[in-house]
């Protein structure tokens, strides 16, 4: 895989507030990469720097190995899909999509053909003459995607494009976007604060917080092997417990020792352990080291969310079995369910 | 039943009275412009005498030319100035925005006579020769705030990313302005233009103070002529009224026709 975009030590300050504190990132060709993080973490700023709407204070931005920091947005081979679509209401659907080509003075017949092809790609055939303001949110979003893709960019930037849609439509558009990305075969850089969206669509997830990149990895990596407390708690629900790494593959927490699969920590190093709620099994108290009582049960649709009070803390458990409040239970988990991470300073 | 009938009748009468109050003076002017005698009280017969006199009167014709050309130039220049200012204002920092919108309101609220004297003193101090140019400059200066006031809300209503979207698609900043921003704020620009034109066209106070060397617009010449009875003024007023009536008609009818056409295209595609 070839690196298409490279960010080296990018920093950015707005009104005395440092939004980006040194971003280093390599983005490959044909990759679906997601910048994931809470609002204010710097993900949108990173995207705007790549698009050219904002300029970094320091650092390098390489595109195909060439420094492009000073290149204005209209000379960059990237196109953007904006959060609130930013369609042009004085133009109809076809004119909106053709905007980029018309600016480049493309031949009229070519424009008509390409617009038709794009409308087909986003599933809006026959909508050419429609007024963009008469379209639903989902349809407007598709027009925005078509308007960007018709310019055949090397990279498509998407800034929380599904933010304004309802839950059902979001799901539908997620699948659709992934399909479109495969079809056109270009790099997508996607910004979202929705961890589920990030995990289900991306090839690579970049977790950001407070102007720093916290972790870069595949969706399975960031979910199963979170590098620190922030990543663990931001992506999915988790039980985070302080503990000690006794030696390779042996960890101690809550007063017991457990076998695990993690290596490479110092002996007796202070660490934190992540236990995903769905990885914990509820068993009879005599079959487990950790014992407690069921504190609360909440029905969540597919599963129950059960809080079990132990001597030192409450554990969150997701299970499809029902347990009564007040029941004495034991908690078990396998060595591969224990994820050990560096302690955050 | 009777009460209701009286109520609806008096409602109609009220509206009628209102309109009579607005339009009677205009009708009187129009009718007496066709009077064959000089009297402003007795209609002695139909004639186009005052219209021929109007056309033959070079003083009035040159005033018409001054009014029309000053209004056209002042409108064009203040519309460009005001629109650019409004767009720039929307991108400025908050404190500048607040200050400038407030400062912009002062000339609008200020009594015209104060503006007029101010401009007169300024031109005198700068040793400007009073005439056509000073009148034009004065008109540009009092028209621009109106354009800013009517364009600014439209600019503020735009999606913050709209210009970025255009540039992202390959438009240079100038193309983003002409192909996206201006078409989108056109209603505001049109309103500002109409306002500027009317303000300039019927201005008397400011023009009276800043003009000189015999350069007069319609309001000034009418003012000079009312000192003696002269029905040519009625003829001139009638022409102005007809022109305005046609203009209002066109402005109101054209968008409706366009809408109808647009709707038909949309219906076809549903």
| ipTM of this complex | 0.80
Q: Sheet of A269-275: strands edge to edge?
A: A256-259, A250-253, A239-247, A269-275, A339-342
A310 and A265 in a common domain = yes
How are the residues of chain A apportioned to helix, strand and coil, as percentages rounded to the nearest 5? 30, 35, 35
- For residues A168 and A55, give the distance between their C-alpha atoms in angstroms, rounded to a whole number: 36
Q: What distances in angstroms separate CA B172 from CA A82, A97, A106, B160, B180, one per listed residue?
A: 19, 17, 16, 17, 11
Residue to test with chain B: of A45, A71, A73, A97, most B Cβ within 10 A: A73
Q: What is the DSSP code (8-state) at residue A265?
A: P
At A298 the three-state DSSP class reads: strand
Whole domain around residue A331: which residue ranges?
237-342
Write down the pLDDT at residue B269: 46
- Topology of domain B61-233, per CATH? MetI-like fold (1.10.3720)
**Whole-number Å distance between alpha carbons of A229 and A239:** 10
Into how many domains does chain A fold?
Answer: 2
Question: What are the chain A neighbours of B179 within 8 Å (beta carbons)?
Answer: 99, 103
Instruction: Give the end of a domain, one of A187, A212, A229.
Output: A229
Write down the residue that tokens 């663990």 correspond to: A232
pLDDT of residue B106: 86
- Distance (Å) from the C-alpha of residue A277 to the closest C-alpha of chain B? 41
- pLDDT of B265 > 60? The answer is no
Averaged pLDDT, groups of 10, chain A, 345 residues long:
87 89 90 91 91 90 89 91 90 92 89 90 88 89 91 91 82 87 90 90 92 91 87 86 88 89 84 90 89 91 91 90 90 90 74
**Nearest CA-CA distance, residue B38 and chain A, Å:** 55
Cα distances (angstroms) measured from residue A14 to each of A45, A297, B199, B204: 10, 45, 43, 50
Tokens 């809080």 belong to A307
Q: What is the model's pLDDT at position A164?
A: 76
DSSP, collapsed to helix, strand or coil, labels residue A241 as: strand
Say yes or no: A158 and A302 in one domain: no
Question: For residues B200-216, b (16+ Cβ closer than 10 Å) or e, as one string?
Answer: bbebeebbbbbbbeebb
Chain A positions in Cβ-Cβ contact with residue B262 (cut-off 8 Å) = 131
Of B161, B170, B186, the CB nearest to A86: B161
> For position A128, what pLDDT does the model report?
86
- What is the token pair recorded at A240? 């985070």
- Selecting from B159, B161, B170 the residue whose C-beta is nearest the C-beta of A100 gives B170
- Output the domain CATH number for residue A326: 2.40.50.140
B4 phi, psi to nearest 5 deg:
-65, -40
pLDDT digits 0-9 by tens, B187-224:
899 889 988 888 888 888 888 888 877 788 888 888 88
- Rounded to whole angstroms, the Cα distance separating A273 from A340 reads 5
Q: How far apart are CA A49 and CA A36, in angstroms?
A: 16
Give the C-alpha separation, A117 to A13, whole Å.
42
User: Residue B185 in contact with residue B151, Cβ under 8 Å?
Assistant: yes
* Nearby residues of A233 by Cβ (< 8 Å), 6 or more positions away: A240
* Shared-domain flag, residues A194 and A254: no
**Looking at the structure, do residues A129 and A220 belong to the same domain, yes or no?**
yes
C-beta of residue A251 within 8 angstroms of C-beta of residue A271: yes
User: Pick the residue with more confidence: B123 or B265?
Assistant: B123
CB burial of residue B242 (10 Å; 0-12, 13-18, 19+):
exposed
Please indicate, yes or no, whether residues A314 and A170 belong to a single structural domain of this protein. Answer: no
Q: What angle do CA B213, B214, B216 make, to 5 degrees?
A: 125
Record the tokens describing residue A222, joined without a space.
């960031």
Query: Quick one: A248 and A314 in the same domain?
Result: yes
Give A306-316 pLDDT, tens digit per residue.
999 998 889 99
Helix (H) or strand (E) holding B220: helix B218-225
Rounded CA gap, B68 and B187, in Å?
Answer: 23
How many other C-beta atoms lie within 10 A of the C-beta of residue A268?
A: 11
- Contact A315/A273 with Cβ under 8 angstroms? no
User: What percentage of chain B has pLDDT greater than the value 90?
Assistant: 22
Give the residue from A229, A264, A282 where a domain finishes.
Answer: A229
Tell me the DSSP string of A299-328: E-SSSEEEEEEESS-EEEEEESS---TT-E
Phi, psi of A103, rounded to the nearest 5 degrees: -60, -40
How confident is the model at residue B260, as a pLDDT?
63
| Closest by Cα among B111, B88, B112 to B100 | B88
Neighbours of A267 (CB within 10 A): 10
Residue A79 and residue A188 share a domain: yes
Same-domain pairing of A54 and A159: yes
The residues spanned by each domain of chain B are 61-233
Q: Where are the alpha helices (DSSP H) in A210-277?
A: 219-224, 229-234
A191: domain CATH number?
A: 3.40.50.300
Q: How confident is the model at residue B259 (pLDDT cuts 50, 70, 90)?
A: low
Q: What pLDDT sits at residue A233?
A: 86
Q: Is B43 helix (H, G, I), strand (E, B) or coil?
A: coil
DSSP state letter for A86: -
pLDDT in tens, B108-118: 888 889 888 98
Contact of A312 with chain B, judged by CB distance below 8 Å, is answered with no
Instruction: Note the pLDDT tens digit of each residue in B51-79.
Output: 888 888 778 888 888 888 998 999 999 99
| Domain final position from A199, A229, A259 | A229
Q: CA end-to-end span of chain B, whole Å? A: 48
Q: Do A224 and A245 lie in a common domain? A: no
* Confidence grade of residue B270 (pLDDT, cut at 50, 70, 90): very low
Residue B160, min C-alpha distance to chain A (Å): 8
Q: Do B164 and A73 touch (CB under 8 A)?
A: yes
A162 in the same domain as A52: yes
Contact B168 A127 (CB under 8 A): no
Section B141-164 average pLDDT: 90
The chain B residue lying nearest A51, using CA atoms, is B168
According to DSSP, residue B120 is labeled: H
Q: Kindly give the interhelix angle for B132-156 and B94-109, rounded to the nearest 10 degrees.
A: 130
Same domain, A120 and A175: yes
Taking CA–CA distances from B173, the nearest residue in chain A reads A74
Q: Measured between alpha carbons, how far is A334 from B4 in angstroms, rounded to an integer?
A: 87
- CA-based Rg of chain A, rounded to a whole angstrom? 24
CA distances from B240 to A288, B28, B114, B246 (A): 98, 14, 28, 10
Task: Classify A297 as helix, strand or coil.
Answer: strand
CA-CA distance, B255 to A303, in Å (whole number)? 58
- Are A188 and A294 part of one and the same domain? no
What's the confidence (pLDDT) of residue A91? 92
CA dihedral A259→A264→A267→A269, nearest 10 degrees, is: -90
Q: CB B168 to CB A51 under 8 A?
A: yes
Query: What values do phi and psi take at B213, rounded to 5?
Result: 55, 30
d(CA A270, CA A245): 6
Could you tell me if A42 lies within 8 Å of chain B, comparing CB atoms? no
- Half-sphere exposure (Cβ direction) of B93: Cα atoms closer than 13 Å: 4
Strand partners, A240: A274
Cβ–Cβ gap B179/A103 under 8 Å: yes
């Amino acid at each position: 895989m070839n690196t298409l975009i490279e960010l080296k030590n990018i920093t950015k300050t707005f009104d005395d507030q440092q939004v980006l504190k040194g971003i280093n990132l390599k983005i490959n060709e044909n990759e679906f990469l997601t910048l994931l993080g809470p609002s204010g973490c710097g993900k949108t700023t990173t995207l705007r720097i790549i698009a050219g709407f904002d300029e970094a204070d320091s650092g390098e931005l390489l595109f195909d190995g060439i420094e492009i920091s000073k290149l204005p947005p209209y000379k960059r081979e990237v196109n953007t899909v904006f959060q609130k679509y930013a369609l042009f209401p004085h133009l109809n659907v076809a004119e909106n999509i053709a905007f980029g080509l018309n600016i480049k003075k493309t031949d009229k017949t070519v424009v008509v053909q390409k617009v038709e092809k794009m409308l087909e790609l986003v599933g809006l055939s026959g909508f050419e003459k429609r007024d963009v303001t008469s379209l639903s949110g989902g349809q407007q979003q598709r027009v925005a995607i078509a308007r960007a893709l018709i310019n055949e960019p090397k990279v498509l930037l998407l800034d929380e494009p599904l933010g304004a849609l309802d839950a059902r439509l979001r799901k539908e558009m997620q699948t659709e976007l992934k399909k479109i990305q495969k079809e056109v075969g270009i790099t997508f850089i996607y910004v979202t604060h929705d961890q589920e969206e990030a995990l289900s669509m991306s090839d690579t997830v970049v977790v950001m917080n407070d102007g720093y990149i916290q972790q870069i990895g595949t969706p399975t990596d960031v979910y199963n092997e979170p590098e620190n407390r922030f990543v663990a708690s931001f992506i999915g629900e988790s039980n985070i417990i302080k503990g000690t790494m006794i030696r390779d593959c042996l960890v101690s927490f809550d007063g017991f020792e457990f076998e695990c699969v993690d290596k490479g920590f110092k002996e007796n190093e202070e660490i934190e352990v992540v236990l995903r709620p769905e990885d914990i099994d509820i068993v009879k108290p005599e079959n487990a080291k950790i014992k407690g009582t069921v504190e609360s049960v909440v029905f969540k649709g597919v599963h129950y969310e059960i809080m079990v009070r132990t001597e030192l803390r409450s554990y969150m458990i997701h299970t499809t079995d029902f347990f009564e409040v007040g029941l004495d239970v034991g908690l078990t988990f396998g060595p591969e369910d224990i994820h050990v991470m560096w302690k955050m300073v | 039943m009777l009460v209701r009938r009286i109520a609806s009748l008096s409602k109609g009468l009220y509206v009628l009275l209102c309109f009579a109050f607005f339009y009677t003076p205009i009708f009187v002017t129009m009718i007496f412009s066709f009077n064959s005698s000089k009297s402003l009280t007795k209609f002695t017969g139909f004639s186009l005498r005052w219209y021929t006199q109007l056309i033959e009167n070079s003083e009035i014709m040159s005033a018409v030319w001054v009014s029309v050309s000053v209004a056209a130039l002042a409108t064009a220049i203040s519309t460009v100035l005001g629109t650019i200012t409004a767009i720039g204002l929307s991108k400025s920092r908050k404190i500048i925005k607040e200050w400038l919108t407030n400062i912009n309101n002062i000339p609008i609220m200020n009594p015209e006579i104060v503006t007029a004297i101010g401009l007169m003193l300024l031109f005198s101090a700068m040793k400007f020769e009073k005439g056509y140019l000073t009148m034009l400059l004065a008109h540009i200066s009092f028209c621009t705030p109106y354009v800013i006031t009517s364009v600014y809300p439209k600019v503020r209503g735009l999606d913050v990313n709209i210009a970025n979207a255009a540039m992202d698609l390959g438009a240079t900043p100038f193309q983003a302005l002409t192909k996206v921003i201006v078409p989108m704020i056109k209603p505001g620009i049109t309103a500002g233009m109409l306002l500027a034109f009317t303000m300039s066209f019927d201005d008397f106070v400011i023009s009276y103070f800043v003009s000189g060397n015999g350069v007069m617009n319609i309001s000034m010449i009418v003012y000079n002529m009312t000192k003696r009875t002269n029905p040519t003024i009625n003829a001139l007023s009638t022409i102005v009224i007809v022109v305005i009536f046609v203009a209002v008609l066109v402005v109101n009818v054209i968008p409706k026709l366009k809408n109808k056409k647009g709707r038909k295209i949309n219906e076809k595609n549903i």
